[in-house]
Amino acid sequence: MLVIAAPGQGAQTPGFLNPWLEIPEFRDRISAWSEIAGLDLIAYGTTADADEIRDTAVAQPLLVAAALAAYDVLGVTPDLVAGHSVGELAAAAIAGVLTREEALGLVRERGQAMAKAAAVTETGMLAVLGGAEDEVLAAIAGQGLTPANINGAGQIVAGGTLEQLEAFKADPPAKARLIPLSVAGAFHTVHMAPAVDHLRQAADGITPGDPTVRLLSNADGALVATGPDFVDRLVKQVANPVRWDACMATMAAEGVTAMIELLPGGTLTGLARRGLPGVKTVALKTPDNLDAAREVLK
């Protein structure tokens, strides 16, 4: 049983689209979707530096476009599909809840709204690796932070103001390693509340379809049966924690045996190797990975 997963913000690296643009079908898609995104996605994916693609309004459309273009050239149909954070928009398009054009239009609005919300207060995020989960969550709550991503496999991401993060770093949980993340703000926390209202208005004009592939939600790991429910969850998720641990638990319960992580792959397959032992994984990083992905169930 195959799950295809779309990565979230932070997976992008300078120049990651370069080898993929040699595939005409991939280049054509990125070029067409650049018009919808209002960004030159080819330039951002090839020549832009790390700071330029760290910008939330750039990173989010770039990631969704890259994931969908990679899926289209891959040519494999999954049994389950899931996305991490902004990757849920790619997952929604793969499952038929949104058209690709609708997904790119929504991610444009999402990225811009979250960037605007992030500019109101200086906020950030850091990954907490290891430690006892209950102790980590208690330490996060103790500083007024939010467990913005509970990723499983011993990884929780805390989000909040820079002052709260500094206080947390000064008194970290036992046996935990802290890694500051290169993101523009505290995503999936109350600081993103203004972006929820904006995204809801943007989504009002869309009539979503029901999933044609089983589709997991970041909110709680549930399999979502209807398009309107999934879009409602997508909107609310902007200011609520990502429960990737719950998504992986559902994958295990459903009997997943293989995972393909779409471009730019590596993060979610890394979590799967620790959280889903025995599951075969392939991360799409370059076109050289396509054959291995197509053979993963054979």
- The catalytic residues are 85, 188
Q: Specify the amino acid at residue 60.
A: Q
Report the relative pairing of strands 155-161 and 123-130 from DSSP bridges: antiparallel
Q: What is the number of other CB atoms lying within 10 angstroms of the CB of residue 30?
A: 24
Rounded Cα distance, 139 and 178, in Å: 13
Phi-psi bin for 153: left (phi > 0), alpha (psi -120 to 50), beta? left
DSSP annotation of 162 reads H
Question: Which H or E element spans position 245?
Answer: helix 244-253
Q: What is the number of other CB atoms lying within 10 angstroms of the CB of residue 234?
A: 28
Nearest to 11 by CA among 151, 189, 195: 151
Rounded Cα distance, 291 and 289, in Å: 6
And the tokens for 228?
A: 């309107």
Contact 121, 191 (CB under 8 A): yes
